[in-house]
Amino acid sequence: MLKRCLLTAAFAVAMLTAGASPAAAIPPGEQLLVINYYSSGDRQSLIGQKWRGCPGQAPGQWGQTSTHLDFHTVPC
């Protein structure tokens, strides 16, 4: 379920930003994927997060999910 949610979120963000920026790959190496969920489209109030991807670290989450989201990666 979590994998499907992350894939859906990543695909949605990619589709929304495809025309707005040049193509860029996720940097090589081990990366932690972090998805931020916001209460509204202005993205001012963070209401939850999900993360996964680093070896030896369990995926986690806190708060609520919503349709207003963004994601980013950070090195492990």
Comparing 5 with 43, the larger pLDDT belongs to 43
Tally of CB atoms within 10 A around 37: 22
* Helix, strand, coil percent content, the chain, rounded in steps of 5: 20, 35, 45
Whole-model pTM: value is: 0.61
CB 57 within 8 A of CB 46: no
Total count of domains within the chain: 1
Structural domain range at position 43: 2-75
Look up residue 12 and give its two tokens. 């949605």
Q: Give the integer Cα–Cα distance in Å for 41 and 9.
A: 15
pLDDT at residue 36, rounded to an integer: 96
pLDDT at residue 3, rounded to an integer: 61
* pLDDT, tens digit (0-9, with 9 covering 90-100), for 32-75: 999 999 999 999 999 999 999 999 889 999 999 999 999 999 99
